[in-house]
Structure 1
Amino acid sequence: MHIHFIVHEHFEAPGAYEAWAKSHSHTLSYSRVYQGEPLPDNIAAIDFLIVMGGPQDPHTTKAQCAHFDTLAEQQVIKKAIDADRVVLGICLGAQLIGEALGARYQHSPEREIGKFPITLTDYGVADPLFTHFGKSLQVGHWHNDMPGLTADAQIVAYSEGCPRQIVAYSDLVFGFQCHMELTKDVVALLIANDDLSAAAHNRFVQAPSVLLSHDYDEMNQKLLEFLDKLAKTYQTKRKQQQR
């Protein structure tokens, strides 16, 4: 399979998503928009479109951030969805999926930066893609906002600080407000590019020393298993369409 990443900033790295793709010898391509790399003009060769996070929001203009073109990204996302490709959005990427489908993003009730539990909804517990998550799972967070919900969207998981942590827009399209891809290396990059001086004044924002002390391996493994299941779902669907 071919995996394409849209990466908005060097410190919002694909982490465990990239490790999964490489471990299966999938081919990879990138739109590192912060380096001026173009968005894909054709999604025919793409199986997974993975849209990463960033400090921008879906309404950030090009005047505010010259390398971020929200409307162009939403068009790519919509093309991939319409073509029955897998589309995964992480943080900003999740919000862009919602916007591409006509659902406006919103501010999260709480800012969350750290490792905190998410709780699966009844829908999430019953979805075969997420059964291995259990009812609750400790995952990474680094956000202020959350994705919008379409009429057909289902909330898979929520946290105490945010009611929309994982959203299923279809059986192939998912928004992850949480960051299950984080590794200590990625966390170090994020710390170096964010202001955490007010961490003590936010109940869901942890200090850099705490962030770097966490073990992220378990949530990474849960993510990899989800991706394996999702890949099988996608490949089965493609075979059925080709008959």
Structure 2
Amino acid sequence: MKALAIIHAPFERPGVIEEWFQAKDHFLVQVHPYRGDILPTMEKFDSLIVMGGPQSPLEIEKAPYLRLEIQLIEHALKQNMPILGFCLGAQLIGEALGAKTERSPHKEVGVYPITLTAEGEADPIFENVQKTFQVIHWHNDMPGLTKTSKILAYSEGCPRQVIRYTEKALGFQCHPEITFQLAQELVDNCPDDLKPNQYVQSAEEFLEHNFQMINQTMIHILENFYKL
């Protein structure tokens, strides 16, 4: 398998997803539009992964290359290609389907649990995954919903944590993929986001969590997603 990963910041890389691809002898090609990379076409790829980043579809004029990404996602959706989106990536999948990004009820930064809905518990993507589990959060926005999308998981701070948009397109507002190394890079690059609040942890509290356990959940999800 050969997947294309769209990156939006040097500190928001695919993390454990890349490790999983390497362990499976799959290929993960990374492209960085924010620094001027040209998006390839999808003809030579089997899957699309759209990562998070500090950009927002609500301020797309500040990052006009996101419009090209939305067009690429539209093409991948028409090809019924497996698509995963994380945080900003989930919001861009929604945008490609005509669902406008919205502000989350609460800003979430840190490690907090999410809980599966009834539809999430029945969804094969969460086979071998507990009903409530810890993930990383780093967001102000949340993905929009289409008439047919299904919310698979929610948190106390955000009602849209995992969304199934189509049979092969999933959006994660949360981050199961971030490794401890990437968590440290986020802290170093975005210190202003870590001002403790109701759903915002301090840097010290954030980095104390068990990232390996969180990443193991991501591995279960990848195994389930790519066998469908």
Q: Any idea what the Cα deviations from partners look like across 1:139-170, whole Å, max 9, x if unmatched?
A: 11111110000011000000000000000011
CA distance in 2, matches of 1:223, 1:194: 23
The answer for unaligned runs of 5 or more in structure 1 is 234-243
Aligned to 2:22: 22
CA distance in 1, matches of 2:214, 2:31: 26
CA distance in 1, matches of 2:111, 2:59: 27
1:181 to 149, 157, 177: 177
Paired residues for 1:134-173 under 5 Å = 134-173=130-169
Pairwise CA distance, 1:209: 0.9
Aligned to 2:59: 60
Pairwise CA distance, 1:203: 0.9
Pairwise CA distance, 1:10: 0.1
The code of the aligned residue for 2:99 comes to A
Pairwise CA distance, 1:198: 6.1
Pairwise CA distance, 1:132: 1.8
The code of the aligned residue for 1:149 comes to L
CA distance in 2, matches of 1:33, 1:193: 19
The code of the aligned residue for 2:204 comes to S
TM-score by length of 1: 0.90
Say whether 1:227 aligns with 2:222. yes
Which structure ranks higher in relative contact order (CA pairs < 8 Å, sequence separation ≥ 6)? 2
Pairwise CA distance, 1:229: 1.6
1:126 to 104, 122, 125: 122
TM-score by length of 2: 0.96
Aligned to 2:5: 5
What secondary structure does 2:59 align onto?
Answer: coil
Cα contact 1:3–1:27 (8 A) shared by 2: yes
CA distance in 1, matches of 2:38, 2:51: 15
The answer for unaligned runs of 5 or more in structure 2 is none
Cα 1:198/1:20, change in 2 over 3 Å: closer
What secondary structure does 2:48 align onto?
Answer: strand
Pairwise CA distance, 1:98: 0.3
CA distance in 1, matches of 2:27, 2:129: 27
2:195 to 199, 202, 221: 199
Q: Any idea what the Cα deviations from partners look like across 1:70-120, whole Å, max 9, x if unmatched?
A: 211000001111101111110000000000100001000111111111010
Same amino acid, percent of matched pairs: 44
What secondary structure does 1:226 align onto?
Answer: helix
Q: Any idea what the Cα deviations from partners look like across 1:184-225, whole Å, max 9, x if unmatched?
A: 11011111111337623x111111111111111112111111
Q: CA RMSD in A?
A: 1.3
CA distance in 1, matches of 2:192, 2:95: 28
What secondary structure does 2:58 align onto?
Answer: coil
- Whichever of the two has the greater Rg, that structure is 1
Pairwise CA distance, 1:136: 0.5
Matched pairs, number: 228
Q: 4+ residue runs of structure 1 moved beyond 4 angstroms?
A: none
Cα contact 1:48–1:87 (8 A) shared by 2: yes
Pairwise CA distance, 1:131: 2.7
Cα 1:155/1:25, change in 2 over 3 Å: same
Aligned to 1:213: 208
